[in-house]
Amino acid sequence: MVKRFLSRWLPFIVYCTLIVWLSLTPAPPTIDDAFFGWDKFQHAAAYGVLALLAFRAFGDDPDAVKWRWLKAVVVTACIGGLLEIAQGLFTKTRTAEFDDLLADLVGAGGAYLATLMYRFIMPGEKKNRS
């Protein structure tokens, strides 16, 4: 039971910790690329992965897929919102931006849509895995 809990929640917790650090550090690492270095792309990608990990952490009941996704997107949005507020209140070099929160939501929604498409396209038992 502990092993199962850790295998589901530990990746989410570790990744969430990384996002918190990247969000609140005064000078986060940068990517020297026009697209991958774009702040909004980084937000969408980071929070898309976070939503996938949250979805996985909430269990594997195939009958509760919609509820697991709803919880994952809400948790991801709350984390994104709280971190934007924290950036505005607790850092001097970072600012809170509504556009960043929007990019977080696009990433979480994109992760949901990608798994929905995967379930629709893939035949058979693989549909129950997401």
The pTM of this model reads 0.85
Of the candidates 107, 118, 129, 124, the one whose C-alpha atom is nearest the C-alpha of residue 59 is: 129
**Gap between the Cα atoms of 88 and 76, Å rounded:** 19
- pLDDT tens for the chain, 130 residues long, are 788 889 999 999 999 999 999 999 988 877 777 767 678 999 999 999 999 999 999 988 878 889 999 999 999 999 999 999 999 999 998 899 999 999 999 999 999 999 888 878 876 655 455 4
Q: Which tokens hold the place of 37? A: 């270095």
Instruction: State residue 1's pLDDT score.
Output: 76
Directed axis angle between helix 98-121 and helix 39-57, to 10°? Answer: 50
